[in-house]
Amino acid sequence: MRLIPLAAVLLMSTATAALAQPASPPISEPPYAALVPPSPPGQQGRAERNVLAAQERIARIDPQLGSVIALDPTAIAQAQRVDRAGPRGPLAGLPVLIKDNIESAGPLPTTAGSLALAGNVTGRDAPLVARMKAAGLVVVGKTNLSEWANIRSSHSISGWSAVGGQTRNPFALDRNPCGSSSGSGAAVAAGLTRMAIGTETDGSITCPAAINGIVGLKPTVGLVSRTHIIPISESQDTAGPMTASVREAALLLTVIAGSDPADRATREADARKRDYAANLRADALRGQRIGVMRFASGFGTDEPFEAALRTLKAQGATLVEIKKFDEGQMGVNEFQVLLTELKAGLNDYLKGSPANIPVRSLADVIAFNNAQAAREMPLFGQKTFLQAEKTKGLSDPAYRKARAASFQAAGPNGIDRLLKQYGVVALVGPTMPPTWKIDAVNGDQISGGGAGSLAAVSGYPHLTVPMGFVKGLPVGLSFIGPKWSEERLLGLGFAYEQARGPLPGPLFFRSIEESPAIAPLLKR
Which of 16 and 199 is assigned the larger pLDDT? Answer: 199
Cis amide prior to 180 (ω within 30 degrees): yes
Mean pLDDT within 481-509: 98
Task: Note the pLDDT of residue 11.
Answer: 27
Residue 91, pLDDT above cutoff 50: yes
Task: State the pLDDT confidence band at 43, using cuts at 50, 70 and 90.
Answer: confident
Sheet strands side by side (includes 95-99): 68-71, 138-143, 95-99, 195-200, 238-243, 215-218, 462-470, 473-480, 426-430, 289-293, 318-322
CA dihedral 344, 347, 349, 351 (to 10 degrees): -140
> How many Cβ atoms from other residues are within 10 Å of residue 271's Cβ?
8
Burial of 269 (0-12, 13-18, 19+ CB in 10 A): buried
Determine whether 244 is exposed, middle or buried from the number of CB atoms within 10 Å of its CB (0-12, 13-18, 19+): buried
Environment class of residue 107 by beta-carbon count within 10 Å: exposed (0-12), middle (13-18) or buried (19+)?
Answer: exposed
Inter-CA distances, 495 with 211, 214, 246, 314, 488, Å: 21, 16, 9, 11, 11
Answer yes or no: are the C-beta atoms of 248 and 459 closer than 8 Å: no
- SS3 category, 70: strand
Three-state SS at 367: helix
Contact 224/254 with Cβ under 8 angstroms?
Answer: no
In this predicted structure, the answer to whether residue 317 has a pLDDT above a threshold of 60 is yes
Question: 252 φ, ψ to 5°?
Answer: -70, -40
Q: Cα dihedral angle (423, 426, 429, 432), rounded to 10 degrees?
A: 150
Active site residue 99: yes
Using the predicted structure, report yes or no on whether residue 450 has a pLDDT greater than 50: yes
For 153-172, give the DSSP string. Answer: -TT--TTEETTTEE--BTTB
**Among the options 67, 182, 184, 204, which is catalytic?**
204
User: Is beta strand 289-293 parallel, antiparallel or unpaired with respect to 165-166?
Assistant: unpaired
What are the pLDDT digits (tens) for 136-195? 999 999 999 999 999 999 999 999 999 999 999 999 999 999 999 999 999 999 999 999
What is the three-class DSSP state of 508? coil
* Catalytic, out of 67, 104, 153, 180: 180
Share of the chain above pLDDT 70, in %: 92
> Tens digit of pLDDT for each residue in 247-277?
999 999 999 999 999 999 999 999 999 999 9
DSSP code per residue over 88-118: -STTTT-EEEEETTB--SSS----TT-GGGT
Catalytic site includes residue 511: no
Question: E strands, 252-372, where?
Answer: 289-293, 318-322
Q: Find the helix or strand (DSSP H, E) in which 374 lies.
A: helix 373-376
Catalytic residue among 24, 67, 99, 104: 99
Q: Is 394 exposed, middle or buried (0-12, 13-18, 19+ CB in 10 A)?
A: middle
- SS3 of residue 443 by DSSP: coil
